[in-house]
Amino acid sequence: MHAAVVLRLVPDIADDLEISESGNDIDREWVGMKLNEFDDHALEEAVLLKERAGASVTAVALDGDGVDKLLQSAIARGADRVVKITYDELPPLPAAAAVAAILADAIQALGADVVLTGVQTPEDAGGQLAAALGARLGWPHLSAVAGVQPAPDGLIVRQEHSGGYATRVHAAGPVVLGVQSASQPPRYVSGSKLRQAIGVKPEKRAGGEAFAGPVAMVRRLAKPASGGGAAMWKGDADAVADQFVALLRERGLLKG
């Protein structure tokens, strides 16, 4: 089994996000970038497939600032091979179909028979990659995956739905998985392993032809109103606690 795991750097949404002068992107110069947290789980699940079933794991990412370090950290986590995909240009918050078009040829050329990536990112307004990649490759796909088990004739995938309902699905052939959570929390990687991985130079491959069809475009970004719809309590912790308890008392919600 050869598992390709697609990793993406995304803005850290804990940071303040400023809108760029163009109005249709965030100002990426000062925002911290981090591994998409669902991709983190996808990488963990891929490494678990390696440990449980002897799968080889190739981590793949679109080329860009910080990608070498990202891929080196994947090596430290257990990936066997790392590949960065070069491409000409993508618009801000690109359509999933456009990203899938760049990645699909490279994934096929790698000979992968299962692709794992995060179920979503904070900025995939043009749709989620896993299903778009499945459509592009002509492979089945499953989103909201919460665990993958090797089986003699394929994989058994747990797909989660709302309300605690889930299904176990058998996939007999190549499949794309949008991972929501790995079978176990992503593992800690020691500093020494990270230092060892710094010497690894990711392979470089050219991405596929740019997507030819029409795509949705983000025309503008805006911030929602501060405080939203909530009546905001002011003051220090003691003042807020007093207002909180007063509200509970007024509504008859104090315990006992």
By CB under 8 A, the residues from 22 to 61 that bind another protein are 26, 37, 41
Judge contact between 36 and 9, C-beta under 8 A.
yes
Query: 1 is written with which tokens?
Result: 């089994």
Q: How far is the CB of 246 from another protein (least distance, A)?
A: 10
Q: Which is nearer to another protein, 156 or 198 (CB)?
A: 156
Query: 244 is written with which tokens?
Result: 């909180």
Site string for another protein, 113-152 (x = CB under 8 A): ------xx-xxxxxxxxxxx-xxx---xxxxx-x------
Q: How far is the CB of 196 from another protein (least distance, A)?
A: 26
C-alpha torsion sign, points 20, 22, 24, 25: negative
Please state, in angstroms and rounded to a whole number, the distance separating the CA atoms of residues 115 and 177: 6
- DSSP-assigned beta bridge partners for residue 204: 84
Q: Which of 20, 86, 167, 196 binds another protein (CB under 8 A)?
A: 167
Entry field: residues in the chain? 256
Q: How far is the CB of 249 from another protein (least distance, A)?
A: 10
Within residues 61-120, the interface with another protein by CB under 8 A covers 93, 95-97, 100, 119-120
Please state, in angstroms and rounded to a whole number, the distance separating the CA atoms of residues 242 and 240: 5
Tell me how many residues contact another protein (CB under 8 A): 95
Q: Which is nearer to another protein, 191 or 223 (CB)?
A: 223
Within residues 233-252, the interface with another protein by CB under 8 A covers 233-234, 236-238, 240-245, 247-248, 251
Q: Which is nearer to another protein, 190 or 230 (CB)?
A: 230
Judge contact between 118 and 179, C-beta under 8 A.
yes
Which one of the spans 54-62, 65-73, 82-90, 219-227 is the region binding another protein (CB under 8 A)? 219-227
**How would you write 79-138 as a 3-class SS string?**
CCEEEEEECCCCCCCCEHHHHHHHHHHHHHHHCCCEEEEECCCCCCCECCHHHHHHHHHC
Q: Which is nearer to another protein, 41 or 81 (CB)?
A: 41
Which one of the spans 57-65, 70-78, 176-184, 194-202 is the region binding another protein (CB under 8 A)? 176-184
